Structure formats: structure tokens, C-alpha cells
Amino acid sequence: MNTRLCCALLAALASPAFAAVGEGHLFAGIVHESAYFLSGSLSYATPNGQSDAMTANARAAMLMPISCNGGNLRAGLNSADASYTGATVTLLLNGLATGSTCTLFGVVSTCSDTLHTFSVAAGDNVSLQISPALPQRPITNDDAEIEVKLPFSWRCVE
């Protein structure tokens, strides 16, 4: 085996699971209507993974394990509900809006904000805010009844 290749493989195996400094961490997921609350003016979502929309930011916030610069927000809307035709998605830091936001227009649309960034300290809380709130779905918990899906991603660079 080539010595360089062997050493490169060993170095890769010994590396921690975290991204290299400057490379960044990608957070992504999807939020959809919840069967457990009546719609209000805002919805909140955990900024990584799949979740129902929530009415309280405190329930959606993710505790950040690292310090980094957040941004590069991207979102999409796929709505089979003709009354839900757009939304504004904003990343929140410790419950306050960051400049990282984008607006979706239409039942099938995408948006991005690649300009605005914000500083995150280890221990900060990050969440997504969606306005207007996602609608409520029936309480049957049948995934086939989910009509509004909002996929998203954002990056945090150390």
C-alpha cells in the first residue's frame, strides 16, 4: 500500500467527528404542521432534524455545543393547503431574531439568505421562527394528512 495513502487513511480515522476549522457544520431538517395546537401568529421549529411546528420558542431551541458563525439559511415550502401560500423563516439566537431570514412566496417555493451571519457561542440556543404559523393538521397522526412541509438548512462555521 502506498505510504501516503496509508497515512492519510490513518489520519482520517483518527480525526474527531467534528468538521475541520473553517469547513463548517451543516444543520438541516423539515418542519410540518402539528396536530397538537391551534395555529397562532408564529411557529417555531428545532433547527436540526424533523419536527412538528411548536408555539413556544423555548420548546424548539437547540443548545449549541460549539462556538461558530451561523448563516447560509435555505428553506423551501411544499404546501398542498391552498390557504398556506408563503412564509418568512428566521433563525433565532437566544430567542432574538438574527439577520438570517428569507421569505417563501407560493405553495411550492424556495428562498435563501447567504449574506447575513451571526456569532454563536457554545451554550447558546438556536431555533427557527416561521411566520405566519403553520396550520394545524388533524389529530390522527397519519403522516398522509401532512399538507405543509418546510425543509430547511443552515451552516455554522467554526
| 95, 57 Cβ separation under 8 angstroms | yes
Fold assignment, 23-157? Jelly Rolls (2.60.120)
Q: What is the DSSP string of 25-86?
A: EEEEEEEE-BSSS---S-EEE-SSEEEE-BS-HHHH-EE-SS-EEEEEEEEEEEE--TT--E
For cell 417555531, name the residue.
44
More confident: 20 or 103: 103
Question: What is the SS3 assignment for 24?
Answer: coil
Q: Name the band, by pLDDT with cuts 50, 70 and 90, for residue 97.
A: very high
pLDDT attached to residue 2: 41
| pLDDT tens track for 62-89 | 999 999 999 999 999 999 999 999 999 9
Cell numbers for 6, please give them.
496509508
* DSSP H/E element including 3: helix 3-14
| Beta pairing partners, 154 | 27
Q: Does residue 10 surpass a pLDDT of 80?
A: no
| Domain layout of the chain by residue ranges | 23-157
Task: Tell me the C-alpha distance between 69 and 121, whole Å.
Answer: 9
pLDDT attached to residue 141: 65
Q: Name the band, by pLDDT with cuts 50, 70 and 90, for residue 145.
A: confident
| Beta pairing partners, 87 | 104
More confident: 140 or 154: 154
Closest by CA position to 62, among listed 136, 138, 135, 152: 152
**Alpha-carbon distances, residue 112 vs 24, 86, 104, 140 (angstroms):** 17, 14, 9, 33
| 47, 150 Cβ separation under 8 angstroms | no
pLDDT attached to residue 7: 37
